[in-house]
Amino acid sequence: MFSQTSEYALRAVVWLATEAEGPVGVQWIAEGTQVPESYLSKVLQQLSQAGLVISRRGVGGGHELSRPPNEITILEVINCVDPIKRITSCPLSLKSHSKKRCGMHSKLDEALQNIEAIFSQSTIDDVVNNPNCPPPLKEVRRGSRQRRN
């Protein structure tokens, strides 16, 4: 249901939120999140284009979150890479459904609306510091925090 890209984007943001103390090279994030480096580079590019991650090349560069984890929602991360597309109009372009969707598409959209609500009310900080769950990614061998670009 949720794409591989969404999963990887969330891992990257969670890792940056918990493990990075400054700009970090993609190699370390890939190692810490178990995401192939080339795939992760594209995901980070999308997150950067959306303004959620600051990416700088060269010496002293790397990737870091643009905002603190308690100001980033799960919905924002997912919408950066694989947006939840609400069904706001009839996919069949039926004229008689132009003002009101049919029962089938209303029900599908109800589920999407529900997902949006759950994810918009949950920040990266919430999932990282959920007292009822083990912290995400923690067992993965951490990449050194040393910069490597």
Q: Residue 77 Cβ, how far from a second copy at the closest point, in Å?
A: 10
* d(C-alpha 60, C-alpha 30), whole Å: 18
* d(C-alpha 11, C-alpha 67), whole Å: 16
Residue closer to a second copy (CB basis): 86 or 148: 86
Q: What is the dihedral of CA 92, 97, 101, 105, to 10 degrees?
A: -20
Q: Residue 61 Cβ, how far from a second copy at the closest point, in Å?
A: 27
Q: Residue 122 Cβ, how far from a second copy at the closest point, in Å?
A: 5
Residue closer to a second copy (CB basis): 56 or 86: 86
Residue closer to a second copy (CB basis): 57 or 105: 105
* d(C-alpha 114, C-alpha 100), whole Å: 19
Instruction: Name 115's Cβ contacts closer than 8 Å, sequence gap at least 6.
Output: 84
Q: Residue 20 Cβ, how far from a second copy at the closest point, in Å?
A: 16
Residues near a second copy, by CB under 8 A = 1-2, 7, 10-11, 14, 34, 74, 84-85, 91-92, 94-97, 100-108, 110-112, 114-115, 118-119, 122, 126-130, 132-140
Contact present, 123 and 70 (Cβ < 8 Å): yes
Residue closer to a second copy (CB basis): 54 or 115: 115
**Tokens matching residue 33:** 């999140």
